[in-house]
Structure 1
Amino acid sequence: MGSPVAGFVGPPGWDDPSPAEFCSITGVAAIGSSLDLGDFDWSLDRIATTEPAIVEVAVDLVARGATAIGIVGTPFGWAGLDDDERPRCRNDRIARACDAPVVSAASGMLDWLDDLGARRVALAATYYDRDWCDRWERFVKAQGPTVTLCASMADLDIVEGPLDAADETHWAPTPEQIEQTVVGVLRPAGADAVILSGAGARTVSCHERLAAAAGVPVVSADLGLYRSLIRTIRHEWTARPPRHVERPTWWPEIEIDV
């Protein structure tokens, strides 16, 4: 059996950092390709129709050597599903079509919550608009957890609303803005964890800081996807100095066949 290769299906019109970042952290080869969806309006109703396009990209990535597929962008894993349907149901359909295991940011975050045993969560929805926030909160509740608060950076007055997809400061928040959002959604007490959504909210470099500021685990979209891919390919942690000397706290436990 050859070495694993992670294949990333990226959102349309975005230079996805996931393949290079995943390779740099894990040492596992990674390739990626973005969805080509033409004039894309970024509504959840439009995202709900993208499964055939995701299949097309996944099939191409497998043909190029990918042995496992990761779907970047939280709503691409859940938009259009029935509220009580788990994102892994979509993963399974795509996996059958491309003949490789498939995970998504959405399923990865829910699996991470399961690992933690967290049942009360706060949703840090970064750059989501109100429609996205409401529908994301409804979906998470349908999966079982109680939601203490769902709020975006605009809701918390971290950026001036309305959120603007054309403004990079809105969809690519700084570590400081991400931390403010995480801390802000915890103001109603009682959450066991924070779910941090938004593929533009990159947390590899600041996850330890976020968890320290929150005082509870922070389940982020980018690392949720990476954890699931690491588990899927059963990749054990290997220190890769100088950036990653110690095993990150978010790294999943790996079950190895004996």
Structure 2
Amino acid sequence: MKNKRPAVGFISPPAWFDPAPAEFPRVCVEEVRTQQASLPLPDFDYKLRSIASIQDELNLCARTLRAAGCDLIAQIGSPFAWACALSEKEARDRCDAMAYAAGIPALMMG
């Protein structure tokens, strides 16, 4: 039987302890479930060019969260949306690529 509560999948920055997935249900008006996928880059350097180059990993995490039953993807960490982007459209395209890869809506912080 499918769980009726919506599930939000959080993509967290690499090698980062992210409290957002645990805190989100406490501030959300409706009852939700959360799941987390950390970007699989344990030695990540957090340089803007590095941040801008991880679309494949974002897409993989989004697909993984969809497979786990999430209805929406929320990516945490503002520079992941805009790092080295030359326009607002380019930043939005990153989010759209992630949503397309997962087949569900996605939001990026920033």
TM range (shorter): 0.7 to 0.9
The residue type paired with residue 60 of structure 2 is E
Q: Secondary structure in 2 aligned to 1:53?
A: helix
Query: How far is 1:25 from its partner?
Result: 1.5
Match of 2:8 in 1: 6
Distance 1:64 1:21 in 2: 20
Distance 2:84 2:99 in 1: 18
Query: How far is 1:42 from its partner?
Result: 0.9
1:54 aligns with 2:58: yes
Distance 2:84 2:69 in 1: 29
- Which of 76, 79, 82 is the equivalent residue of 1:78? 82
TM-score between the two structures when normalised by the length of structure 1: 0.39
Change (3 A) 1:62 1:84: closer
Residue identity (%): 36
Contact 1:88 1:103 (C-alpha < 8 Å) held by counterparts: no
TM-score between the two structures when normalised by the length of structure 2: 0.88
Alignment of 1:94-133 (within 5 A): 94-106=98-110
Query: How far is 1:36 from its partner?
Result: 1.1
The residue type paired with residue 28 of structure 1 is V
Distance 2:16 2:44 in 1: 12
The residue type paired with residue 34 of structure 1 is S
Distance 1:23 1:86 in 2: 31
Contact 1:12 1:35 (C-alpha < 8 Å) held by counterparts: yes
Change (3 A) 1:38 1:14: closer
Relative contact order (C-alpha < 8 Å, sep 6+): which is higher? 2
Distance 1:84 1:21 in 2: 29
Q: How many residues align structurally?
A: 106
Change (3 A) 1:57 1:84: closer
Query: How far is 1:87 from its partner?
Result: 2.8
1:133-180 per-residue CA deviation (whole Å, 9 max, x = no partner) reads xxxxxxxxxxxxxxxxxxxxxxxxxxxxxxxxxxxxxxxxxxxxxxxx
Q: Which is higher, the Rg of structure 1 or of structure 2?
A: 1
Query: How far is 1:78 from its partner?
Result: 1.2
Distance 1:74 1:13 in 2: 16
Query: How far is 1:84 from its partner?
Result: 4.2
